Amino acid sequence: MTALAYTESTNWREANQHYLMQAIALVREVLERQAGRDTGTQGENLKLDFPHPSLPPPALEQLCTIFGLSSFERDVLLLCAGMELDASFPALCAAAQGDSQRTYPTFSLALATSSTPQWKALMPASPLRRWRMIEVGTGSALTLSPLRIDERILHHLTGLQYLDERLAAIIEPLPKSGELVSSHQRLAEQLAATWSQASGISGLPLVQLCGEETASKRAIASAACELVGLKLNVINGVAIPLNFSELNQLKQLWEREYWLRASALLLDCDELDLSDAVRENAIAQLSESISSPLIITSRERRRSRLRPLITFDVQPPTTNEQRMLWQSTLGAATSSLNGQVETLVSHFNLSAPTIHAICTEALGRQAHEALSTQHGLPPTTPTELSTILWDTCRSQSRPRLNDLAQHIESSAAWDDLVLPERERQVLRDIAAHVRQRAKVYEGWGFAGKSGRGLGISALFAGASGTGKTMAADVLARELRLDLYRIDLSSVVSKYIGETEKNLRRVFDAAEAGGAILLFDEADALFGKRSDVKDSHDRYANMEVSYLLQRMEAYRGLAILTTNLKDALDTAFLRRIRFIVRFPFPDATQRAEIWQRIFPSQTPTEDLDVKKLAKLNVAGGNIRNIALNAAFFAADAGEPVGMKHLLQAAQSEYVKLERPLTDTEVKGWV
């Protein structure tokens, strides 16, 4: 790939401008002779001279070489440049054309004054017009229409380099990448080698970088461009014009920019809606027709119909690379963490830019808290750095998943959970597995024994309202991890292949933060797997298998909930590590739930827990009744009493479409 050599050295700029003005002076002399003026020199004292042969050639000569301009096209370009740089040109153009109104260059004037006139230079496919170097005015015959040099080309001839303002509104330069981790540096080198080995500009393949981390993909692309001497610029897919003429102009201007500034383009498709067919078609047209170096970044693999496509999958840094990133970025502060770096590495799967951002934020917050404490301001006791880092990791990991699942704020504690001791112990075991995952798999070598089944999966089975979501809430609070609820009934799609795509987006987004994923309503996907009778049955079974595979490989905890455990396939159950049954609460357990249901600050009066426990409902319904009763009491200006609970129970039973029996509420009021 060859592009115009350019240097910003003062010597080159001065020599370049001197050369350009000499070339324009030669054109001026020709115009004077055409106008019948005696210059008295006949050109013997005017000649082109570039006094610094060790420097890159003048911009004019580079431009002519790269774009293949003939000597006549070169004359036309200089004629138009002279109009902008030499005040005598308007009058000379009018005199040379014998028309005082034509104070501008025309093709007719160029044909008359050039020693090598070429009619084909007027054609739309000629370099001058194809590359938009000159603009042809309207309203007159083609040969008599005003000609004007494109502003970007004019400034380039003078040695000024900048991104064309017509592109600057939608394209922006990317900074240099900085140092990459080894695995990402290898990808950058492979990408650069792909370009270097291509046979000419026409043989360049389309390159796509796939993965979740936008910043990492951009850093790799930037590093690859540096290796081959290109500047990297980025355009967001949502900014691509949908109109054909505007899209074609973007293509032409960008390809010209490649030659003028040795630039590559990164097309960011990370956040695009793939169902937008019109935009997808525009992106396909641009990516397959543009011949200069183009990189597409996307979370999912895209296809190319016409152009060779090479795909690089960008993964987060390896565990060891992340460990070194944490240690090098934290510096001396690492020693104060007492091995907590290993905990961060085991729970969070973060990119290099994200780790740098987290460390900067955490160290800044720690310094601010220490300063506040010195001045007697809160907090009186600064937060430990390990806590700040953990919380910052969680917050940095949330944005992507927030768009795909419901974030549940963890507030429940172990004491809020009313379950038989056996089930409570299984929940404690789950927490232990999550906490010790890194030690057992990495430190003790179990990961090397088998790559399968390293994820921690659980099935919570029980009727609605028996505490399945609360148990997940308790685990999230215990482990200080985020909890996200995914309603599988909304993820399952009637369109073949869409369910797998939806699940992939959820897991890919969750990998960075190690969040607890709560897949609610698993019955929507995990019924008895059917015999394959048609393509829909085959894809349904594939979707079940895909979810199981992702759960087994997921770094965090994945929980499935079901109301109908017996309806689930036994082959599926064998692949779940923990199964927790949530029984319908008996009277004793219901009394315990009622005993704990009201916050300590809630005013209550004469509540009879034993009578309340006669209501044959699950814990979720008890919470609904208690909350509704609190509103009734607050509206009446009274403490919560049995009459308010009776009113709330009646409302809840109507919602459940069940009769409220006299036995259940006997003696309440």
pLDDT of residue 306: 81
Residue pair 627/649 in contact by the 8 Å Cβ criterion: no
Note the residue count of the chain.
Answer: 669
Q: Following DSSP, what letter does each residue of 179-206 receive, concatenated?
A: PPPHHHHHHHHHHHHHHHTSSSGGGPPE
Q: Tell me if domain 167-313 and domain 414-582 are identical in fold.
A: yes
Specify the pLDDT at position 496: 59
Question: Which one-letter amino acid corresponds to residue 479?
Answer: L
Q: Could you give the CA distance from residue 184 to residue 217 in angstroms, rounded to a whole number?
A: 9
Alpha-carbon Rg for the chain, nearest whole angstrom, is: 36
Angle, helices 10-34/89-97, rounded to nearest 10 degrees? 30
Reported in sequence order, the residue ranges of 521-652 that DSSP labels E, i.e. its strands, are 557-562, 578-582
DSSP bridge pairs for 207: 295, 310
The CATH class for the domain spanning 167-313 reads alpha beta
Q: Which residues contact 647 (CB under 8 A, 6 or more apart)?
A: 628, 629, 632
- Of 43, 63, 80, 211, whose CA–CA distance to 127 is shortest? 63
Using DSSP's 3-state secondary structure scheme, residue 572 falls into: helix
Question: Strands, E, within 544-604: which ranges?
Answer: 557-562, 578-582
How many Å apart are CA 352 and CA 184, to the nearest integer? Answer: 10
Six token digits for residue 479: 């482990």
Find the angle CA(542)-CA(546)-CA(548) to the nearest 5 degrees.
Answer: 120
What 383-388 contacts at long range (C-beta under 8 Å, 24+ apart), as own/partner pairs, is: 385/333, 385/336, 385/337, 386/337, 386/338, 386/340, 386/343, 388/362
Q: What residues pair up with 486 in beta bridges, in sequence order?
A: 519
* Residue-level pLDDT at 40: 59
| DSSP secondary structure, 24-91, as one string | HHHHHHHHHHHTT---SSTTTT-----S-TTSPPPHHHHHHHHHT--HHHHHHHHHHHHHHH-TTHHH
Q: DSSP assignment of 292-312, as one string?
A: S-EEEEESS----SSS-EEEE
- Kindly state the greatest CA–CA separation across the chain: 124
CA 569 to CA 139: how far, in whole Å? 77
Residues 147, 105 contacting (CB under 8 angstroms): yes
Residue 153's φ and ψ, nearest 5 degrees, are -70, -40
Contact call for residues 249 and 282 (beta carbons, < 8 A): no
Strand partners, 520: 487
Helices and strands (DSSP H and E) totals, the chain: 29, 14
Residue 200 confidence (pLDDT): 62
| Alpha-carbon span 496 to 540, nearest angstrom | 8
Among 152, 296, 111, which residue's Cα sits nearest to residue 214?
Answer: 296
Q: Domain map of the chain by residue range? A: 10-161, 167-313, 319-403, 414-582, 587-665
Give the three-state DSSP class for 234: strand
Nearest C-alpha neighbor of 545 from the set 606, 602, 600, 503: 503
- Per residue in 55-72, is it b (16+ CB within 10 Å) or e — as a string? bbbbbbbbbbebbebbeb
Tokens read off for 549: 């595979």
- The letter for the amino acid at 625 is I
Query: Residue 382: what pLDDT?
Result: 74
For the domain made up of 587-665, give the CATH fold.
Helicase, Ruva Protein; domain 3 (1.10.8)
What number does CATH give the domain 414-582? 3.40.50.300
Average pLDDT for runs of 10 along the chain of length 669:
53 91 94 82 63 85 95 96 96 95 94 91 93 89 93 96 94 90 97 85 85 92 96 97 95 95 95 89 93 94 88 93 95 89 90 93 90 77 88 88 89 92 97 90 80 83 93 96 88 71 87 90 64 48 81 91 75 86 94 93 94 94 96 96 96 94 90
